[in-house]
Chains A and B, each alone.
Chain A
Amino acid sequence: MNIVTFKSDFIKPVILGAIIFAALAFLPSLVDSYYMSLAISITSFAILATAWAMFSGPTRYISLATVVFFGIGAYTVAVLGEILPFPVVLICAALAGTVLALLVGFSTLRLAGVYFVIFTFGLTELVRQVVSWYEVNVTRELGRYIFLDITQDDIYWQLLTLLAVLLLTGFILGRSRLGFALRIIGEDETVAKHCGINVTRVKVALFVLSAVFMTLTGAIMAPRWTYIDPVIAFNPMLSFQVVIMALLGGPRRLLGPILGVIPLTLLFEVLTANFPNHFSIMLGVTFMVIVYLLPGGVIGLYEKYGGPNKPSHPNGPPTTKEKTA
């Protein structure tokens, strides 16, 4: 890879991305608040799914802990929102997410496959129970009120910024030493170890990075609900939704998860609007249809894990095997 192609390879997508995001920033002046709430939903899920895939794509760990970090972010706002200025609150949220992710990362990443899946789910329940217990016995108030003057448009702009930062991070990561190490780990962990990569440290670093974005999303979204309690903040459905969206879109490419988020969010919206009494059935049928009739949508992308070489970004650098060959 020579310097010249690297540069054009780098600058073109960034400029394109910047233009798209700049255009998206004008959305609030164009549409009413219903579409804004839809846009917020899509943007927040886009962040969560992309952040999820940032860790789970290369490492193939299916994590159900998304909502743990999301909820921690929301709680940070509930606790500190009226004491500190909002940007400081966001920093605190990011720190809280980092500490928790470090703890979890170092203790759990040696688990494999479904054990990790259930472990992360158990973690969600545990954190929810501990927060409940703390609130009940220490603060003696279970629900917390968030009275902040943050409008829907503010939330949208914050989320949009966060998404832009996340995509840029992912983009740079794909071209960095860390990203390179990750791809090797993704291909073969033993090989990675032999190459002198500290596998655990790389995985934990990535887990933390992904968790920070999830935490910030929770923090940004919290003022929308006025009131949170552990059941609202740590709703496990969120974790499942994120996994499904990312898997549908394709977790191994940077923009893949977003391709899953947009159709699924819109689909949920159509089902909610038109089948208030049969939402569950319609949702179930949709899932079945995706699994059976669109294996290319979900499995085809997933297949690439073990399959032949595919670039991890459409215009990305060559994959490890080509490189190491």
Chain B
Amino acid sequence: MQISSRLRIATLAAATTALIGTALLGAQAQAQDTYRIGYAISKTGPGAPGANTSTIPNYEMWVKEVNDAGGLKVGDKMIPIEVVEYDDRSSSEEAVRAIERLINQDKVDFILSPWGTGLNLAVAPILDRAGYAHLAGTAVSDKAPQLSKRWKNSYWLLGTGSQYANELATFLDQLKSDGKINNKVAMIAVADGFGIELSNAGRKALEKHDFELVYDKTYPLGSQDLATIVNEIKSLGADTFVAFSYPPGTLGLTEQARVLNFNPKIFYAGVGTAFPLYKDRFGADAEGVVSLGGASETDPKIADYIKRHIAFAGREPDRWASIVNWASLQSLQQAIERAGSTDRDAINAELAKGGFDTILGSYKPGDQNFWQVGQWQDGKFVGIAPTSMDGAQALIFPKPDWKGAQ
């Protein structure tokens, strides 16, 4: 009995080893008739919903569009893209392993970034060591400026938490000095990297502009039951409600605000508000809700991008990270074409030069020339701040009454 069970295990082990052997060999042997792009992303696990909204559709759509056009233009040749993709299962360790695999086994030419702050930071040193550029499309970190110094070819596309908070605080300050809102702000944040980063920056920025934080708490990641929080905030007399939340919490908070008929003059919530899901869920009640991100849909390039995204993925892109990610993919394509070769260093050098023509206009990866504050207006999530940017819309003020729940 003992012998036979050990034998079975040994057989199992041997069979698996043989299997992995063939699997590994299969991945080798590639000539340079394709440009190999690899990525490991959270197809499953807690990161999956985010990755499926902001990142995966853009990667897939970009590859399809490039290949439908015959491929990347390298010198006078058209080279199609070949994709190697893995699922990092939302785990740092899996992400690290998958990137090692892409570099050493698959020997891909370029690696696209995973989803989320944690995973992007986990893979950054490996990409740096192997000389790959890192276009971190979905990481928000106050260390972003140090990080891009630390890892020379890394670009932190969504910037720091402070920038969103500062822009919001400046914007609110204007409303306050116009006498439109009182100085009371109620702030709630999800107890996860993003929420904490933004609420810390928000607290500082708001206090600097003489706002009084009448409510300043966090709720645990995964909690969608926020009725008691909204009920308490409702009684505090704040004209401004700010939530640095994730999509499930954003929807939960909005829902509760509607049920309790809590209708502050400024209702700011997000991530998730700029997702198409939000509009689908709340319909006309999305009108006037403020969040981070935004898109100038009057800009023909953006409008065209949104149209193509709907045609490809069957749904709209979100109006924040998706747009920035798309701009970074356009930049990559142009960098390869400008370099005129698939040489990694040449492409990295081009990426660093910037000046790419993208849906964000002239763009260098890492530029923060996108909307920091946006608002749902008439079914579109438009940009309202920085007010100095082209196409900035006037704020709908105050937020209209909730219609859905009486």
Could you say which residues of chain B place their CB within 8 Å of the CB of A262? 13
The answer to whether A232 and B118 touch across the interface, beta carbons within 8 angstroms, is yes
The answer to whether B20 and A142 touch across the interface, beta carbons within 8 angstroms, is no
Could you say which residues of chain B place their CB within 8 Å of the CB of A133? 191, 220
The answer to whether B20 and A34 touch across the interface, beta carbons within 8 angstroms, is no
The B interface is mostly helix, strand or loop, or mixed, namely helix
Could you say which residues of chain A place their CB within 8 Å of the CB of B124? 226
Residue ID in chain A nearest B220 by CB atoms? A129
Could you say which residues of chain B place their CB within 8 Å of the CB of A132? 191-192, 220-221
Could you say which residues of chain B place their CB within 8 Å of the CB of A269? 20, 97
When chains A and B are docked, how far (Å) is the Cα of A262 from the Cα of B11?
Answer: 12
Could you say which residues of chain A place their CB within 8 Å of the CB of B91? 232, 235, 237
Which among A142, A145, A259 is the interface contact of B191 at CB below 8 angstroms? Answer: A142
The answer to whether B43 and A226 touch across the interface, beta carbons within 8 angstroms, is no
When chains A and B are docked, how far (Å) is the Cα of A267 from the Cα of B27?
Answer: 16
When chains A and B are docked, how far (Å) is the Cα of A37 from the Cα of B1?
Answer: 35
When chains A and B are docked, how far (Å) is the Cα of A308 from the Cα of B124?
Answer: 53
Please choose the segment from B81-89, B162-170, B228-236 that sits at the chain A interface, where 4 or more of its residues have CB less than 8 A away.
B81-89
Task: Tell me, yes or no, whether B101 is within 8 Å of chain A by CB.
Answer: yes
The answer to whether B122 and A276 touch across the interface, beta carbons within 8 angstroms, is no
Task: Tell me, yes or no, whether A169 is within 8 Å of chain B by CB.
Answer: no
Which among A227, A266, A273, A301 is the interface contact of B27 at CB below 8 angstroms? Answer: A273
Please choose the segment from B2-10, B286-294, B309-317, B350-358 that sits at the chain A interface, where 4 or more of its residues have CB less than 8 A away.
B2-10
Beyond A129-B220, A263-B12, is A270–B23 a contact (Cβ under 8 Å)?
A: yes
B5 to chain A, nearest CB (A): 4
Task: Tell me, yes or no, whether B94 is within 8 Å of chain A by CB.
Answer: yes
Residue ID in chain A nearest B94 by CB atoms? A272
For A134-147 the 0/1 string (1 means CB < 8 A from B) is 01110011110101
Beyond A142-B192, A143-B117, A232-B118, is A276–B5 a contact (Cβ under 8 Å)?
A: no
When chains A and B are docked, how far (Å) is the Cα of A294 from the Cα of B196?
Answer: 48
When chains A and B are docked, how far (Å) is the Cα of A279 from the Cα of B98?
Answer: 14
When chains A and B are docked, how far (Å) is the Cα of A136 from the Cα of B192?
Answer: 9
Instruction: For chain A, residues 151 to 199, give those with C-beta under 8 angstroms from any C-beta of chain B.
Output: none
The answer to whether B5 and A301 touch across the interface, beta carbons within 8 angstroms, is yes
The answer to whether A224 and B13 touch across the interface, beta carbons within 8 angstroms, is no
For A35-46 the 0/1 string (1 means CB < 8 A from B) is 111100100000
Which among B23, B46, B103 is the interface contact of A34 at CB below 8 angstroms? Answer: B103
Residue ID in chain B nearest A221 by CB atoms? B93
Task: Tell me, yes or no, whether A60 is within 8 Å of chain B by CB.
Answer: no
Could you say which residues of chain A place their CB within 8 Å of the CB of B221? 132, 231
A322 to chain B, nearest CB (A): 15
The answer to whether B86 and A276 touch across the interface, beta carbons within 8 angstroms, is yes
The answer to whether A296 and B4 touch across the interface, beta carbons within 8 angstroms, is yes
Beyond A37-B100, A231-B221, A263-B9, is A270–B16 a contact (Cβ under 8 Å)?
A: yes
A132 to chain B, nearest CB (A): 5
Could you say which residues of chain B place their CB within 8 Å of the CB of A250? 5, 9
The answer to whether B121 and A226 touch across the interface, beta carbons within 8 angstroms, is yes
Task: Tell me, yes or no, whether A280 is within 8 Å of chain B by CB.
Answer: yes
For B71-109 the 0/1 string (1 means CB < 8 A from A) is 000000000000001110101111011101101110000
The answer to whether A143 and B122 touch across the interface, beta carbons within 8 angstroms, is no
Task: Tell me, yes or no, whether A108 is within 8 Å of chain B by CB.
Answer: no
Could you say which residues of chain A place their CB within 8 Å of the CB of B96? 37, 224-225
Could you say which residues of chain A place their CB within 8 Å of the CB of B103? 33-34
When chains A and B are docked, how far (Å) is the Cα of A272 from the Cα of B88?
Answer: 8
Task: Tell me, yes or no, whether A57 is within 8 Å of chain B by CB.
Answer: no
Task: Tell me, yes or no, whether A297 is within 8 Å of chain B by CB.
Answer: yes
Beyond A34-B101, A262-B13, is A274–B23 a contact (Cβ under 8 Å)?
A: yes
Task: Tell me, yes or no, whether A277 is within 8 Å of chain B by CB.
Answer: yes
Which among A136, A227, A237, A297 is the interface contact of B121 at CB below 8 angstroms? Answer: A227
The answer to whether A266 and B20 touch across the interface, beta carbons within 8 angstroms, is yes
Beyond A227-B117, A249-B9, A294-B8, is A33–B104 a contact (Cβ under 8 Å)?
A: yes
Could you say which residues of chain B place their CB within 8 Å of the CB of A259? 6, 9-10, 13
Please, could you name 21 A-B residue pairs with CB atoms under 8 Å apart, sorted by A? A32-B104, A36-B100, A38-B97, A132-B220, A133-B220, A135-B196, A136-B218, A142-B195, A142-B197, A224-B92, A250-B9, A259-B6, A259-B9, A263-B17, A266-B16, A266-B20, A272-B87, A273-B86, A274-B23, A280-B44, A297-B12
Q: Nearest 9 A-B pairs (CB), nearest first?
A: A34-B104, A227-B121, A296-B5, A142-B196, A37-B100, A263-B13, A225-B92, A300-B5, A225-B122
- Chain B residues in contact with chain A, CB under 8 A? 1-2, 4-6, 8-10, 12-13, 16-17, 19-20, 23-24, 27, 43-44, 46, 85-87, 89, 91-94, 96-98, 100-101, 103-105, 117-118, 121-122, 124-125, 143, 150, 191-193, 195-197, 200, 218, 220-221
